[in-house]
């Protein structure tokens, strides 16, 4: 585990396991790189990403808390991804992981100023772990530490940007026949069709009550990303496609072809914590060789 300076002098931590690695900025508690043991980058970060506050880094794994999306009185996706986190020195009440995994524990607590935007106190612990096989695990523990007895309610997402060779040759398996809210049709509820999802245009869907395992198959790379999740019932699938890509200043016009967001999330049924209560949400990512051929 190395602590060093990244772009714009922002502090970052690098986790290494044999030849695989992961990188997380204290800015946003934001994973910006996950490389397999061939040194291949598995996450997408835009070439036009801003690595300086207050703009969130475009790509990697933004942490959306205490709000996912634009519904609510906070800015889109909340503020956790715009704050500077710190490294937790005294290990939190995490069960000790076996020693052959590299990990770092980050923590975010509100400042007096933050309490003006969202009048609650909390402890948000984020453990990033790189397993011996190069799997990447993010575990969030959020505790309500309000002294005034007030509960709070939040929604959440790991807004993961996967790097893909060609979006038109990507399939997502595991969400067949699942209901979703379509952000492109006033969040109306539909049911997904019966076979793997493919991409021919902009997609922005919140799948609700989804299975714990979702697969993203990249034809050209003969690679499958497997996303496993716990405590995160929903999954958001997003690709901006060409028009929306052009409308984002921190996103290259053609970059939509090489990324897909599949986001383990809590959206449909927000979480409410009373003081002293803690919520845990975990996602585990792996990248495995796959013999998938598109159109199969
Ligand atoms: O996760 C999908 C989404 O909610 C899209 O609607 C789009 O807004 C995307 O997030 C990116 O949001 P951001 O605030 O990071 O630009």
Tens-binned pLDDT, residue by residue, of the chain (296 aa): 899 999 999 999 999 988 999 999 999 999 999 999 999 999 999 999 999 899 999 999 999 999 999 988 899 999 999 999 999 876 555 555 555 679 999 999 999 999 999 999 999 999 999 998 899 999 999 999 999 999 999 999 999 999 999 999 999 999 999 999 999 999 999 999 999 999 999 999 999 999 999 999 999 999 999 999 999 999 999 999 999 999 999 999 999 999 999 999 999 999 999 999 999 999 999 999 986 544 44
Backbone torsions φ then ψ of 19, nearest 5 degrees: -105, -5
Sheet with 2-5: strands ordered across? 2-5, 11-17, 20-25, 30-35
Give pLDDT, residue 91.
56
Which residue's alpha carbon is nearest to atom 2 within ligand 1?
238
Q: Residue 213 in 3-state DSSP?
A: strand
Probe target for ligand 1 pocket from 30, 44, 76, with the most ligand atoms within 8 Å of CB: 76
Buried b or exposed e, range 45-69, using 16+ CB within 10 angstroms: bbeebebeeeebbbbbbbbbbbbbb
Predicted local confidence at residue 294, as pLDDT: 45
The yes-or-no answer on residue 159 being catalytic is: yes
Other beta carbons within 10 Å of 168: 11
pLDDT of residue 52: 87
Q: Of 179, 245, 173, 187, whose CA–CA distance to 207 is shortest? A: 179
| CA distances to 41, 111, 137 from 2, in Å | 18, 27, 18
Ligand 1 pocket by C-beta < 6 Å: which residues? 56, 69, 76-77, 159, 183, 204, 236, 238, 261, 263
- From the candidates 23, 192, 263, 284, which is the catalytic residue? 263
Global pTM reads: 0.95
CA of 263, closest atom in ligand 1: 1
* Ligand 1 centroid to residue 182 C-alpha, Å: 13
pLDDT at residue number 296: 41
Furthest C-alpha separation in the chain = 57
* Contact indicator for 84, 71 with CB cutoff of 8 Å: no
Ligand 1 atom showing the smallest separation from residue 248 Cα: 16
């Amino acid at each position: 585990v190395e602590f060093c300076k990244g772009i714009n002098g922002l502090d970052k931590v690098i986790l290494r396991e044999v030849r695989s690695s992961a990188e997380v900025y204290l800015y946003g508690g934001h994973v910006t790189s996950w490389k397999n043991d061939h040194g291949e980058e598995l996450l997408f970060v835009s070439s036009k990403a801003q690595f300086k506050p207050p703009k969130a880094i475009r790509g990697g794994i933004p942490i959306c808390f205490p709000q996912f999306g634009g519904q609510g009185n906070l800015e889109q996706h909340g503020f956790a991804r715009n704050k500077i986190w710190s490294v937790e020195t005294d290990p939190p009440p995490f069960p000790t992981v076996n020693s052959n995994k590299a990990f770092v524990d980050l923590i975010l607590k509100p400042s007096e100023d933050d309490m003006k935007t969202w009048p609650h106190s909390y402890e948000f612990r984020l453990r990033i772990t790189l397993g011996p096989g190069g799997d990447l695990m993010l575990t969030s523990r959020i505790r309500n530490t309000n002294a005034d007895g007030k509960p709070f309610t939040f929604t959440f997402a790991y807004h993961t940007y996967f790097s893909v060779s060609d979006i038109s040759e990507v399939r997502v398996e595991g969400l067949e026949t699942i209901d979703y809210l379509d952000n492109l049709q006033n969040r109306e509820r539909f049911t997904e069709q019966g076979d793997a999802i493919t991409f021919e245009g902009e997609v922005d869907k919140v799948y609700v009550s989804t299975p714990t395992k979702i697969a993203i198959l990249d034809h050209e790379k003969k690679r499958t990303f497997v996303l496993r999740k716990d405590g995160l019932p929903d999954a958001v699938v997003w690709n901006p496609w060409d028009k929306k890509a052009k409308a984002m200043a921190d996103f290259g016009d053609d970059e939509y072809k090489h990324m897909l967001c599949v986001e383990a999330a809590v959206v449909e049924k927000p979480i409410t914590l009373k003081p002293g209560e803690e919520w845990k949400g975990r996602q585990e990512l792996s990248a495995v060789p796959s013999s998938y051929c598109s159109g199969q």
